[in-house]
Amino acid sequence: MRRMFGFLIGILVGALVGSTVALLMAPESGESLRAQLRDRGQGFANDIRHAADSRRIELRGRLESLRAPKEM
């Protein structure tokens, strides 16, 4: 368990350091870069919502078919 926790902390620290270096080395202005990141983040969130809604509809259909009385 300690190894897994240490690994996850390492991933988190690595991601923070990597994103900080990427932002500092970016060729665009901070305002433009923030706008691009915001747009990408919103697009990503919309994609996740769409996928979740599709999956929810699919699972509801399966649940209804399982709840339906069986014909004998």
Tell me the pLDDT tens digit for each residue of 26-65: 777 778 878 888 999 999 999 999 999 999 999 999 999 9
pLDDT for 50 equals 96
Are the C-beta atoms of residues 34 and 26 closer than 8 Å to each other? no
Side-chain half-sphere exposure of 6, counting CA atoms within 13 A: 3
Instruction: Examine residue 72 and state whether it is found in any structural domain, yes or no.
Output: no
Q: Are the C-beta atoms of residues 21 and 14 closer than 8 Å to each other?
A: no
Query: Which residue range forms the structural domain that includes residue 40?
Result: 2-67
Decide if 14 contacts 4 (C-beta within 8 A): no
Number of domains within the chain = 1
| Furthest C-alpha separation in the chain | 69
